[in-house]
Structure 1
Amino acid sequence: MPKVSIKICATLHTILQDESFNNFQVVQLRDRFLSALSSNQSVSEAYKFIYRQVCRLVKKKALRKVNKESSKTVTYQKTELFDQINFVINDSIETSKPSQKLLDKTELAVIQQLQERLKQTEVDLLTSIGESEEYMRLYKSFPEMKEHLESQYMLARESSSKLLGQIKAIKSVLSHQQK
């Protein structure tokens, strides 16, 4: 029977080659993988990556999926074929997506832009509130200008409402980006 070749990332290969590492869950492999990495990869991204690799190894019959009837826990075991497989170490698998550092820089740039936009919108809101308050003071001082001052006051209030909506939207996007 010809030897099967499977591409695998170096970190994952090292973990799986450890003889004591068998009968594992995806979460355990993910945790071991994250602790071995030097980058700050997110837990969810690491889980997805590990899960895809485990599924691929199950498909190639290098691992066996074991469902325990007593619980919903799924474990994976190395098969006899595992030791016969020719693993081709591929460092580019880990970096097939944009590197985490690049993502971090991009995310930081987006967050910084959103924060600057938030500050500017808050300044605009304060200006608009100050404007509407001044129209009220002017109205009290010059009641004969009621019609003009009232329309200007309403425009300033409408502007304040729009700006408040923009601030809420920006804060919502910011909180989503920072998760």
Structure 2
Amino acid sequence: MKSAVKLHPYIYNLLIEKDFDEFGAVHLRDALLKITDEYADVTEARKFVHRQLLRLEALGFVHKIENSGGRSRNVYKKTESFHSTTFVPRKLPKNSRLVAIPEKVTPPVSEVDLFLVDLMKEKVVHEAKLAVILSEIEEYQSLMERFPSRKRCFMDLYLQAKNQSAALLGRVAALSKVLGQHNNEHCVC
């Protein structure tokens, strides 16, 4: 009884599980990129597929169908030897040359971090509102200068905007002080 031939798990998936029978290296590479995020770029995936195809061709499991067209895109086909052999996926070696894309690991978020994030968001919102109100104040001042006879119409709106800007400025200042104090002392309230 013949022993099973070990294939790289990705090649095993494509050639055995997905049952590619006649394929080009580019087609195999694209299918590989769809089943794994383990390759940092297309070039690494192409090199990997090329090495695997050369190995399979040397072992007699696939053969190249020469393309008679002008372009040299080779198509590979499984041989009878491939169909009569038992294949198993092998484990990835620890010293694999594959460049893995690191997974984004999110560290656990503490209550203090959430508190600071909330305060920062709140400060940004108040700063944005303050910027709008300050533009509004500038516009009221401009209107009062351009239309002095209508100054009374704009005065109430101008005073409301000034009071609103003072309140927002106070909020921004308070949040800035709390965030500054936390960064300096790491206070736990």
Q: TM-score, normalised by structure 2?
A: 0.47
More helix by proportion, 1 or 2? 1
- Structure 1 or 2, whichever has the larger Rg, is 2
> What TM-score do the two structures reach when normalised by structure 1?
0.49
